[in-house]
Amino acid sequence: MPDARNGQIVVTGASRGIGAAIALELERRGLAVVALSRSGAAPAGHGIACDVADEASVREAVAQAARRGPITGLVNNAGLHEAHPAASLATEAFERTMRLNATAVFVAAREVYPHLKAAGDGLVVNIGSFFDKMAVPDNVAYCASKAAVGAITRCLAAEWARDGIRVLDVAPGYIETDLNRDYLAKDKVRAWLERRVPVGRPGRPEEVARLVGVLFSERIGFLTGETIYLDGGQAIHH
């Protein structure tokens, strides 16, 4: 396992799906990972139990990570997707999605900020979504939360650039994980994706992880505040 004393990247929602793939990829590249999940279990990195929707839990997890070594990066990946028609969507359900997908992204970034500033070359990668600019039926909360991820990314990038911290939004298209496996398994959806996505298939968690791995390995100092879409060409295809 890579030495935590050389710098650590905190990955939220690292127990499965895209977050687990990111933790594995970063470790494969020789980077030390602190893997946050509610249970504390993760396939790679040093696991810490943390509910990222709970501010105190995030503060405690960041403090625990900092005791092992400097924190040089953050991947805000944990997220929730619940589809529901807008007309009958309860405020509580709207806020549950906003809380995890948007507020928690800001809170975790704010909590690691002093550590990244001290390290001098910090990088925050937020996992957004290509839904961020779309009007997707039954997805008002999810679309709003991912649009907020783009805005949080731009604002933090502008405020923190002089502190040596860059902030990016990686926005995937359909990626096959627990979050949507049942939906993507439907014949009708498969056929629609084949027509609608130029590469003709959903993406794989490992493909998102590889992009995040490159961003952390290559350290492109002039790249900040951007949303990078990774959607098999879906957004450009009409």
Report the interface residues with ligand NDP, using CB under 6 A. 12-13, 15-19, 36-39, 50-53, 77-81, 100, 127, 129, 172, 174-175, 177-180
The distance of closest approach from Cβ of residue 155 to ligand NDP in the complex, given in angstroms and rounded to an integer, is 19
Question: CA quadruple 153, 154, 157, 159: dihedral positive or negative?
Answer: negative
Q: Strands (DSSP E) along 128-196, which ranges?
A: 165-172
Burial of 169 (0-12, 13-18, 19+ CB in 10 A): buried
Report how far residue 116's alpha carbon sits from residue 78's, in angstroms, rounded to the nearest whole number: 20
Task: Please report how close the Cβ of residue 120 comes to ligand NDP at its closest, in angstroms.
Answer: 28
For ligand NDP, the closer CB: 5 or 28: 28
Our CA dihedral for 233, 99, 219, 122, rounded to 10 degrees, sits at 170
Report strand pairing: 227-230 vs 165-172: parallel
Torsion of CA 14, 20, 22, 25, to 10 degrees: 130
Q: Is 142 a catalytic residue?
A: yes
Active-site residue, selected from the candidate residues 113, 142, 174, 229: 142
How far apart are CB 91 and ligand NDP at their closest, in Å?
19
Query: Between 80 and 161, whose beta carbon lies closer to ligand NDP?
Result: 80
Going by their DSSP bridges, the two strands 122-127 and 165-172 should be labelled as: parallel
Tell me the two tokens of residue 217.
């390995």
Closer residue to ligand NDP in complex, CB, 12/72:
12
Residue 74 CB, shortest distance to ligand NDP, in Å, is 13
Residue among 161 and 228 whose Cβ is closer to ligand NDP: 228
Catalytic residues: 142
